[in-house]
Amino acid sequence: MRMMTGEQYVESMRERKLQVYLFGEKVDNPVDHPVLRPSLNSVKATYDLAQDPQYESLMTATSSLTGKKINRFLHIHQNTTDLINKVKMQRLLGQQTAACFQRCVGMDAFNAVFSTTYEIDGKYGTSYHKNFVEYAKYCQEHDFTVDGAMTDPKGDRGLAPHDQEDPDMYLHVVETRPDGIVVRGAKAHQTGAVNSQEMIVMPTISMGPEDKAYAVSFAVPTDAEGILMIIGRQSCDTRKLEESELDVGNSEYGGVEALVVFNDVFVPNERIFLNGEVEFAGMLVERFAGYHRQSYGGCKVGVGDVLIGAAALAADYNGCAKASHIKDKLIEMTHLNETLYCCGIACSAEGSPTASGNYIIDLLLANVCKQNVTRFPYEIARLAEDIAGGIMVTAPSEADFRDPVVGPYVEKYLRGVQGVSTENRIRVLRLIENLCLGTAAVGYRTESLHGAGSPQAQRIMIARQGNLPRKKELAKKIAKISE
């Protein structure tokens, strides 16, 4: 099968029998639901751009498994150029959608599972790596979007999985059969699960011998029997139900998360990639987290480009673009955004091969990248809100703007500089609101803090990877200290 077009992808999602719930009701047609459709459009863009010759080098790659041309989101990284192109692709998509395009988690899971299964097989003689290679070829052949599912609900964070009062707080194996396993639990914050054909499940933390049932990784179709998705709320999400393009801010694109519940889901043996080998749970988590923290040096930068552009437009429309403090704020936003990009490129350029042959980023620099992402987008958003002005959050609705009685007052009193329509001024303000406070803020501001692990998770890895003993020895040598 050839790579799908965006429309073919949309039609393929219509064929899925997903169990989706939103606002307390079952959604019979997730593809066309007004709250969900913008998020589908963001994924569609990853297919559309892959068909565009000018973006071919970034959006596609040659499969190391089949030799065929594939979407880069399904690629196993073969060198540092692949790692760098991944970040550049993510920045491009952030620029094109100003939203979360939802395929990064699956791509990062692909590469983490590929190398980890190779090392499990090397120790235990299992067939996990073969299982995964065949699964990867299957996804590449069908050009599927794959969701990566790692985050468990966790329950009491002070207790290990096996010590939880409710054992389902971490997804686990509840039955082993000759032909496979049965799993129960849930995965939270699942970005793009509702827009994916497949799902790779991974453990969420390092584990000990007593957590054997929880050390499990596998793949299932998103419409497998026993899986249901409960869509998460987003700020301003019901604006999408009002048929107001103006008030939404970004009417075409968006992101969406779900709590994915596994009610005794069967997984056949050939789709199992980890099953009880507890010492490898931590390796899988660490590698996935590293790849995903690299990703934020691309996607968040692309969305940041849009936000900086919107802030600059707002300054133009407000008539204050020439003010020195406005210029300085735009410079600072650009500096912060490009610093994030530098981190994403640096950890990619410093990548190295794993035992399996695929390339992994420099883990220390990837964690530094994500640590910066937990901070800089907040300052970029603050500066954008500062430049936009209070009207960003107090402007009347589109219904008022179109109303024959009060509309003329909105038109008259919310105008900015001469030559720019009131509507265009409101449009750019609503875009800033969307990126900083609305539905897109979930995929930009808040996700910058918690996506790919909270700030403390990166600080733990920075401490682990920072190699203080070597730095002490360097200092001793320079100071001529002998002990």
Tell me the Ramachandran region of residue 471: left when phi exceeds 0, alpha when psi lies from -120 to 50, beta otherwise.
alpha
Specify whether 257 is catalytic: yes
Are 240 and 150 within 8 A, CB to CB? Answer: no
Beta bridge partners of residue 265, listed in sequence order: 183
447 is catalytic: yes
Sequence-distant (6+) residues with CB within 8 A of 267 are: 180, 181, 182, 183, 218, 219, 220
- What's the chain's length in residues? 483
Looking at residue 397, the DSSP 8-state letter turns out to be: P
422 is annotated as an active-site residue: no
CA 218 to CA 200: how far, in whole Å?
Answer: 6
Residue 252 and residue 41 in contact, taking contact as beta carbons nearer than 8 Å = yes
Candidates 253, 286, 292, 398; catalytic one: 292
191 noted as active-site residue: yes
- Please identify which of the residues 139, 299, 347, 369 carries the catalytic annotation: 299
| Catalytic position from the list 9, 46, 60, 104 | 104
Secondary structure letter of residue 438 according to DSSP: S
Question: Which position among 77, 100, 359, 374 bears the catalytic label?
Answer: 100
Strands, DSSP E only, in 202-275? 216-221, 227-231, 258-268, 272-275
Angle at 220 between CA 217 and CA 224, to 5 degrees: 140
The residue written with tokens 């453990």 in the block is: 203
Active-site position among 257, 385, 398, 433: 257
- Choose the catalytic residue: 191, 204, 222, 354: 191
248, 430 in Cβ contact below 8 A?
yes
The tokens of 28 are what?
């019979």
Q: Choosing from 119, 277, 398, 447, which is the catalytic residue?
A: 447
Query: How would you classify the pairing of strands 216-221 and 180-187?
Result: unpaired
Examine the residue annotation and report whether 100 is marked as an active-site residue of this protein: yes
> Rounded to 5 degrees, what angle do the CA atoms 260, 263, 266 make?
105
Strand-pairing partners, residue 175, are 182
Q: Read off the tokens for 266.
A: 């069967």
For 35-126, list the strands marked E by DSSP: 60-62, 69-71
Please give the Cα distance from 47 to 4 (Å, whole number).
7
Burial of 325 (0-12, 13-18, 19+ CB in 10 A): exposed
Specify whether 292 is catalytic.
yes
Q: Rounded distance, CA 374 to CA 144, Å?
A: 30
Contact partners, residue 473, CB within 8 Å, separation at least 6: none
What is the longest distance spanned by two Cα atoms in the chain? Answer: 85
Tokens standing for 312?
A: 């600059």
- Whether residue 80 is annotated as binding a ligand: the answer is no
Q: Which of 47, 296, 341, 359 is catalytic?
A: 296
Residue 404 to residues 396, 401, 411, Cα–Cα distance (Å)? 14, 8, 11
**Contact by Cβ (8 Å): 291, 360:** yes
Catalytic residues: 100, 104, 191, 257, 292, 296, 299, 447
Binding site, annotated residues: 191
Binding site, annotated residues for FAD: 191
